[in-house]
Amino acid sequence: MSTGYLHENRGIGIRHHQLILPSVVCSTHVARRIANGLDAITFAHQHGCGIIGGDVAGIDDFFSQLAAHPNVSSVLVVGLGCETIQSQELGAKLLETNKSTRYQIIQESGGVQGTVDSGIAAAKQLNADFPKNQVEIRNDQITVGIDNSNPKIDTTELTNALKAAGYKVEIVTDSHISIDNFSKLMELKAQVIISFPDENQPASGFPLIPVINIAGTGPLHQATSQDFDLTNTNSSQEILDLLAKVIAGQETKAEKSSVGEIRAPRIVRSV
């Protein structure tokens, strides 16, 4: 039996990641400076302003899903102030699913340094207010996401083995590009992902979720075998063994190299 983190109504996390969430591209750099001053996760993106139509609700919802993910301990929203996705509104919305949410607005915080300083203080306060709550976890509390971007791979046997071991399983095959499938799996609340990237795509990661990369037989994967945790010649049992270790806290290769970006789904051009 392994231990995880009880993250209130979001469920059990196998990681305890504080998320510094920039609500707009204009605040991504300030968010990064805040995250660098802590042991927190952030990501660069190009959304939050100049978006229209379905993208407004889509991006807003995507950010909400990120904040509601079980691996997230607390969230600091960093906004600019004049953007389409308003951080105080986003912050209020996130509070419904994640009590440990605060927000910080650059235009109201006295500049870059002011925002970085008060952002770091707010994030530290969140850590103090919502300390780690370690609990024993069972396999049926874990959703394993499978990114099957590689059409050559049949994951039936692996899926059966995971289910037999008690895990919940979500499989996404929507795209041949893992970054898009990771976003889907995040929304499905997968706490850990087993990725079979397309043979023309490299091993990659998702900042909030440990990703186990499994290499195919193509030349790119063969040449970059060191970036993969396992290969498709490994048995389902070997995958399950590594999975158990990762759930228990062992870092995947993607976590070690902090490789991978988060990509939000978009429909329409920016205006």
Partner 1 sequence: MDSPLKAFKRTDGRWGLRNHVLILPLHSALSTTARKIADDVSGCVALNHDWSGEVDNDLPRVTKTLAGSAANPNNHSVIFLTLGTDVELEIIKQAKAITKQTIIELSLPKLGSIQTLTEQATQEAIKLAKEAEAEARVPAPWSAIVLGLECGGSDALSGITANPALGVASDRLVELGATSVLGETTEILGAEHLLAARALDEETGKKIVAMVARYESSINYEGIDIRGAQPSRGNIEGGLSTLEEKSLGAAKKAGNAPLTGVLEFADVPAKPGLYFMDTPGHDIEQLAGFAAGHINVVVFTSGRGTPTGSPIMPVIKVSTNTPMYKAVTDFIDLDAGTIADGIETLEETGARIFDEIVAVANGQETKAEKNGHQEFALSRMYETVVPPLFS
Instruction: Provide the token pair at 85.
Output: 């996705």
Contact (Cβ atoms closer than 8 angstroms) between residue 108 and residue 79 = no
Smallest distance, Å, CB 194 to partner 1?
Answer: 17
Q: Nearer to partner 1 by C-beta: 225 or 237?
A: 225
Q: What one-character DSSP code corresponds to residue 23? A: S
Give every CB contact of residue 101 below 8 A, 6+ residues apart in sequence.
67, 74, 75, 76, 77, 91, 94, 95
Q: Nearer to partner 1 by C-beta: 40 or 161?
A: 40
Instruction: Provide the token pair at 203.
Output: 């091993």
Give SS3 for 39.
coil
Q: Nearer to partner 1 by C-beta: 73 or 201?
A: 201
Smallest distance, Å, CB 130 to partner 1?
Answer: 27
Smallest distance, Å, CB 21 to partner 1?
Answer: 16
Give every CB contact of residue 156 below 8 A, 6+ residues apart in sequence.
none
Smallest distance, Å, CB 7 to partner 1?
Answer: 25
Q: Nearer to partner 1 by C-beta: 112 or 164?
A: 112
Contact (Cβ atoms closer than 8 angstroms) between residue 184 and residue 166 = no
Which residues in this chain contact partner 1 in the complex, by CB under 8 A?
25-26, 28-30, 33, 44-46, 49-53, 56, 80-84, 86, 106-107, 110-114, 177, 179, 200-205, 219-220, 223-227, 257-263, 266-271
